[in-house]
């Protein structure tokens, strides 16, 4: 058995966290790590106790939803709320940070940002990261990591279909359909 690489492990965590997002435009997740330990996570969503974009729609001003707190900021604020230092930490995020998050990341003392997908990579954010000596690196996420049990599941389904009283052609078509849905 091959162990998952650290970058993929933390990126998987960020993708999992993004599933809690209440943003209807883009689901983003962030994980803050220090010494190979997760110290915080955040997703883009509304202020606690307030309306969510998924319920009320986005509140767009100048092309940006002002109802949403970005995932990176939520993770940094979680550290602040619980008194956990972000100095010299690393951030794993599903999408490249915006300029405002870039500034907060720098001010929080985060030394490295790993992102899975390009998203409006603003030249000024890149310049700021460079000036602050923050390492930025694209780490494409291998989504098959989150589907690691699909092989076992498919084997069990295939065996169950073979043991059923279904016509062999129908069972094979059903298996192919299930396989397609899982990939």
- For 61-72, b/e burial (b = at least 16 CB within 10 A) is eeeebebbbbbb
Within 13 Å, how many C-alpha atoms sit on residue 96's CB side? 16
Concatenate the DSSP letters of all residues of 82-131 into one string. Answer: TT---TT-EEEEEE---HHHHHHHHHTT--EEEEEE--S--HHHHHHHHH
Catalytic residue among 5, 55, 56, 72: 72
Q: How would you classify the pairing of strands 64-65 and 60-61? A: antiparallel
Structure-token pair, residue 89:
């930490």
- 72 in catalytic set: yes
d(CA 76, CA 67): 18
Residues annotated as catalytic (active site), given as ranges: 72
């Amino acid at each position: 058995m091959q162990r998952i690489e650290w970058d993929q492990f933390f990126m998987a965590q960020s993708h999992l966290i993004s599933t809690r997002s209440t943003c209807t435009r883009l689901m983003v997740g962030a994980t803050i790590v220090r010494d190979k330990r997760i110290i915080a996570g955040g997703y883009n969503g509304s202020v606690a106790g307030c309306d969510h974009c998924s319920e009320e729609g986005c509140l767009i001003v100048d092309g940006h939803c002002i109802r949403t707190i970005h995932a990176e900021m939520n993770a940094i604020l979680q550290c602040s709320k619980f008194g956990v230092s972000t100095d010299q930490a690393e951030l794993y995020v599903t999408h490249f940070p915006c300029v405002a998050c870039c500034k907060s990341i720098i001010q929080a003392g985060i030394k490295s940002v790993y992102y899975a997908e390009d998203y409006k990579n603003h030249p000024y954010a890149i310049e700021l990261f460079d000036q602050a000596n923050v390492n930025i690196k694209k780490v494409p996420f291998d989504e098959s990591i989150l589907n690691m049990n699909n092989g076992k599941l498919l084997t069990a389904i295939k065996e169950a279909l073979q043991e059923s009283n279904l016509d062999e052609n129908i069972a094979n078509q059903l298996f192919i359909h299930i396989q397609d849905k899982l990939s």
